[in-house]
A = this chain, B = another copy of it.
Amino acid sequence: MTERQLHLNAFLMGVGHHEAAWRHPRTDPSAVEDVRHYQRLAQIAERGAFDSVFLADGVQVFGDVRHSAASRFEPLTLLSAVAQATSRIGLIATASTGFSEPYNLARAFASLDHISGGRAGWNIVTTAGDRAAQNFNRDANAEHAQRYRRAAEFVDVVTALWDSWEDDALVVDPASGVFADPAKVHEINHRGTFFQVRGPLNATRTPQGHPLLVQAGSSEDGKDFAARHAEAVFTAQQTFAEAVAFYRDLKGRLADHGRTPDQLVVLPGIVPVLGSTEQEARRLSDELDDLIVPTRAVAQLTDLIGIDLTDHPLDERLPKLPPVTRVNGAKSRFELVRDLAEREGLTLRQLLRRLGGGRGHQVVVGTPESIADHVETWFRGQAADGFNVMPPLLPSGLEEFVDHVVPLLRRRGLFRTEYTGTTLREHYGLARPRSRFAAPLPV
């Protein structure tokens, strides 16, 4: 087991990542609002020794309510419940730097890390779009670079708060009545552009020191941010060549921040549409795509790329899209969709089918063997350190992956047979940070 090992994250989303999953006979749409459904999904992933489960999130109702089956749970409260039904798997929640306060967010993630025994991760998002801003006292959202400047300062404040209690601050001596050593509990006295925070945090140092920092933006701003702060990166990559370029680019930026390539784990998304034969897999893929409601899919695409395509004829090719510099939404996803449509000359309807499975993430249709081949090729080819697994149907697609793909990956020596650590950081092979306020270690 000294060979480089693959990492697997299970991206949980309602009853499946395919946008029409809830309409397929293999799902139970009522599970979308049942906490036991998410507990069961995490248990399946834990049975497969996955590193983590992950919940995306937003702070608005997306797109077309009529045809969408989104989960209604807030990720931190949901993962706290999931923690009670699992013991080892990591728990990554999305939370926005755009519309919350660093003190509250630091506290909530510290709490989840305590509750779960060191299994919390924070997927840092800046949140694009005016609809989100309109739920938070504004008419329009901040522009892209400004959102990332706020995010960078936000993360600085949060990690300082996580450091504000040193590891050995607790004394707990009933005889003397000393509970904590005040010399090891620190005000952070942050005064920046966006925030002014005195501290200390009202939560002690957590099992992981810092809950894991995860990031998913792949724009220039996003990659710079990731190189500075992130320890795991979720990314959407349509081709092996693009994935290799992204991987090399991102890892290459780490040295500028005094970091080594093994301090950041790159996890492209993969939507595995599985069948026991290629035909069976293809049939499932077609069944799902046939259930797409075009008006809903257009609304989702509009949200995704920030360009309104509502009136574009379904069977015509896409219009030429503007340069990314004029986009204020999720820049990298915009580029991915534009390049995909142009490269393959897709009509809007064809594009909707290509995006229906994973909103721009790589869809791989095939047998367990062919999907394991795909995973191995990307992993050995330095396109990925592992994968963000996005089953089209849940729980069935995750069960199939764990029961049929994971054993192949193990047989090939790529993936652990059981957990070797107890915290999320340990699963990903990442060090536990020291508090910035702690005395230097003796030389």
Contact = CB atoms under 8 A, between A and B. Distances in A.
Interface stretch (A69-77, A230-238, A281-289, A396-404): A69-77
Given A33-B204, A198-B131, A180 B291 contact: no
Interface string A184-203: 01000000000111111111
| Complex copy number for this chain | 2
B177 A108 contact: no
A437 to B, nearest CB: 14
Nearest to A58: B202
A175 B182 CA distance: 63
A61 B179 contact: no
Interface size on A, as a range, is: 35 or more
Nearest to A83: B81
A293 interface: yes
B22 A174 contact: yes
Contacts of A68: 179-180
A321 interface: no
Contacts of A115: 35, 73, 77-78, 81
A135 B103 contact: yes
Nearest to A96: B104
A5 to B, nearest CB: 30
A420 interface: no
Contacts of A339: none
A38 to B, nearest CB: 9
Nearest to A203: B72
Contacts of A29: 172, 174, 179
A72 B179 contact: no
A204 B72 contact: yes
A325 interface: no
A124 B25 CA distance: 44
Nearest to A178: B66
Nearest to A175: B23
Interface string A148-188: 00000000000000000000000010110111111001000
A61 B200 contact: yes
A310 interface: no
A201 B131 CA distance: 12
A71 B85 CA distance: 23
A134 interface: yes
A69 B178 CA distance: 9
A101 interface: yes
Contacts of A30: 172
A125 to B, nearest CB: 14
A103 to B, nearest CB: 4
Interface string A247-281: 00000000000000000000000000000000000
A279 B72 CA distance: 54
A114 interface: yes
Contact of A67 (B67, B110, B179): B179
Given A78-B111, A80-B80, A135-B198, A65 B180 contact: yes
A225 to B, nearest CB: 22
A135 B20 CA distance: 44
Given A80-B81, A115-B78, A181-B66, A202 B108 contact: no
A182 B84 CA distance: 35
Contact of A72 (B78, B131, B181, B202): B202
B137 A196 contact: yes
Nearest to A137: B196
17 contacts: A23-B177, A30-B172, A58-B202, A59-B107, A59-B202, A61-B200, A61-B202, A65-B179, A66-B180, A66-B182, A67-B178, A73-B115, A73-B203, A76-B77, A81-B84, A104-B104, A131-B198
